[in-house]
Amino acid sequence: MNRCFLGLLLFMGPALALAAEPPKTSAKLPRTPIACDLMLLAPAPPGVGETDSTVVGDIDGDGKPELITNAMYCKTPGLYAYKPGADPTQPWKKQLIQTGLHLEGTAAGDLEGKGPMDLVCGPYWFSPPAAGPFSGQAWRQHKFAPGFRDWCRAAVIDVNGDRRLDIVLAEDEYPDGHLSWFENRVGVDVQHPWLEHPIESRLIFAHTLQAWRNAKTQAVSVLVAGYHNRTHSEIFEAPDNPTSPWTRRVLADIPYGEEMVACDLDGDGKPEIVAAEHDPFKPYQSRCRLFVYKLADPKGTAWFRYMLDDRFEQHCGAKAVEIAPRKFGILGHGWMESRYVHLWRPD
Ligand SMILES: [Ca+2]
Ligand SMILES: [Ca+2]
Ligand SMILES: [Ca+2]
Ligand SMILES: [Ca+2]
């Protein structure tokens, strides 16, 4: 186990089994509030609303990441890519991917296997023009999930191991959301370029979707968590044949859990789950808890829970970030105290 993370666990006291209350302790992890100079990437046209689905990826292949984000809840919804210039404090180059569709659930990956990065947003995917992703020319729009509504969470991963990236998609703003993976047959089967394989059909406001492949077992897992009170967070595990029914394991009840993330914080090859409560209203906004869940048995049927903090709402989600090689911190961002990004680090 990574010594930094071991130190973090010892600092927080004994582990508790799933469903137990967090330890009563006055000890707090070191937290660094980072005051953000919010930078306007580009002037927004009138009527543009909130962004709700952002991904970072190198979509033009120059080795540097770009930012892809959507505009929602407005008269002119859309999806845009932004590219910084030599001076990132100057306005970034802006490329329209689509406008007119209210979509959320953004992911990036080379779905055609031809090099240039493609984008997924909701039940659509978008391929760049031949002139280049930032050429100003229109991106091509394709629909891969005709049975899905427009508000989703998406992940791009090779589920069946055929070296073609597939798409995992969850409907995220509905009390009866579907979760499926879509087998990539683009360029192989013109009539049916995407084959849907349903996984679940009763997700409740699934604001978290993350998929990963276990480096040792090669098994694919998908983390899904609901946004509203008393909803479950669940991990779906693919069987050897991922077109067969998947195993579903309930991780925990997270009151108001938003944007959970799986990350191998201690380097043992198995992901931990970072979960932050996010109720932004008084008096709860100063009582929300930040948890790390760690597997307590090899089969994934029980988890230890560690509370890292209980003072801040994290409405905009918590993320694990590599702050040094193989050393992870946790970033959290609230809604009411949005001027600050919080960083927890294990030393
Ligand atoms: Ca790039
Ligand atoms: Ca491509
Ligand atoms: Ca595949
Ligand atoms: Ca781990």
- Residues with Cβ < 8 Å from 21, sequence gap 6 or more? none
Read off the pTM.
0.85
pLDDT band with cut points at 50, 70 and 90 for residue 81 = very high
Report whether pLDDT(346) > 50. Answer: yes
How far, in Å, is the centroid of ligand 2 from the Cα of 127?
A: 6
Left, alpha or beta for 316 (phi > 0: left; psi -120 to 50: alpha)?
alpha
- Report the distance separating Cα 102 and Cα 242, nearest Å: 31
* Residues 115, 208, 210, 315, CA torsion sign: positive
- Residues with Cβ < 8 Å from 153, sequence gap 6 or more? 53, 104, 105, 169, 170, 172, 206, 207, 208, 209
- What is the rounded average pLDDT of the residues 241-269? 83
Q: Give per-residue pLDDT as tens, 95-145.
A: 999 999 999 999 999 999 988 999 999 999 999 999 999 999 999 999 999
How far, in Å, is the centroid of ligand 4 from the Cα of 117?
A: 30
Ligand nearest to the CA of 215: 4
Strand partners, 90: none
Specify the pairing of strand 78-83 against strand 66-71: antiparallel
Report whether pLDDT(250) > 70. Answer: yes
Report whether pLDDT(3) > 80. Answer: no
Residue 320 identity (one-letter amino acid) = A
Report whether pLDDT(282) > 90. Answer: no
How far, in Å, is the centroid of ligand 2 from the Cα of 235?
A: 29
Q: Give per-residue pLDDT as tens, 163-219.
A: 999 999 999 999 899 999 999 999 999 999 999 999 999 888 898 899 999 888 889
How far, in Å, is the centroid of ligand 2 from the Cα of 67?
A: 17
Residue 346 identity (one-letter amino acid) = P
Residue among 112, 191, 188 at smallest CA distance from 156: 112
CB 279 within 8 A of CB 313: yes
How far, in Å, is the centroid of ligand 4 from the Cα of 307?
A: 16
How far, in Å, is the centroid of ligand 1 from the Cα of 61?
A: 5
Residue among 80, 57, 62, 85 at smallest CA distance from 70: 80
